[in-house]
Structure 1
Amino acid sequence: MPPPKELTKRDFESLSEFRYQLRRFLRFSEDAAESEGLTPLQYLLLLHVKGFPGREYATIGELAERLQAQHHGVVSLVTRCESAGFLARHQGTDDRRQVHVTLTDLGAEKLHRLAERHREVLQSLSDVFRVENISAFNDRT
């Protein structure tokens, strides 16, 4: 394998721009969540419940993986969201030790409004996050 090519000024500019735009998006997302009465982490939790592939619920362990958080921290987060009326817990049908977390109507409404706003912003950032812009940096290493 040939040695990696030297990083150029353009590489650093590309990486800087990518991180800048990513941070702008994350800041927007944080502010949008707070405008709906959610913390940014609560918004992500609702998103991961709704967006879990193939079904309308997720387990605590699956959510911990998606959030890259500790199991006990996710349990606390789910408890707070359940108390606020955004989520519900149900005992698993196949494995009664599992807890299935689902959105309530209130949680689904808040998530839907936020997802619409996020989609608009993501569309405006599509050029920044294009694969070829990111891969141009990777091609140099």
Structure 2
Amino acid sequence: MDKQDYQRLAHFRQRLRRFMRNSELLCKANGITALQYQMLLQLRGACERDWATVGELAEHLQSKHHSVVALVDRCEAAGMVERKPSREDRRQVEIHLLPYGLELVARIAELHKEEVKMLRQEFSLPGWEPLD
């Protein structure tokens, strides 16, 4: 790698960190943690259906199963999600968004739109091709 490769990589990481920090602040201002928002976002957008299992959430969040169980517990206590027994496999539990969770994820996602648009434009410019 040459100096320009390192500069691009450093800039990318700095912009990614700035995005994550701004996201953390937006979440906090809306009364939830960034991890809670990530889970709500995964439930709303990552799956083909309107719910996910704890195992699927663990994979999407890159977290341990027991950590996601605790996260679901906190979100359930706050009225954002609910657990339902799976209709297909009684050994599994489905995690569903409740109206409060839907409202939160919609509001916070909307607040991210301008920053995402800016990042998309910035990283679609010439010179941002993947490093060889």
Question: Which category describes the TM-score, using the shorter chain as reference length?
Answer: over 0.9
| 1:1-141 aligned within 5 A | 7-130=1-124, 133-135=127-129, 137-138=130-131, 141=132
Query: Does the 8 Å contact 1:25/1:121 carry over to 2?
Result: yes
- Alpha-carbon offset, residue 53 of structure 1: 2.5
What is the TM-score of this pair, normalised by structure 2? 0.94
3-state secondary structure, aligned to 2:89 = coil
- Alpha-carbon offset, residue 101 of structure 1: 0.4
Unpaired runs of 5+ residues, structure 2, are none
Q: Residue by residue, what CA displacement relative to the aligned partner does 1:78-112 show, whole Å, maximum 9, x if unpaired?
A: 00000000111100001011110011100110100
- Alpha-carbon offset, residue 47 of structure 1: 0.5
3-state secondary structure, aligned to 2:122 = coil
3-state secondary structure, aligned to 2:110 = helix
One-letter amino acid of the structure 2 residue matched with residue 56 of structure 1: D
Structure with larger RCO (C-alpha < 8 A, sep 6+): 1
Distance 2:125 2:92 in 1: 38
One-letter amino acid of the structure 1 residue matched with residue 42 of structure 2: H
CA 1:120–1:91: 2 relative to 1, 3 Å? same
Distance 2:127 2:67 in 1: 36
Moved beyond 3 Å, runs of 4+: 131-134
- Alpha-carbon offset, residue 67 of structure 1: 0.7
Unpaired runs of 5+ residues, structure 1, are 1-6
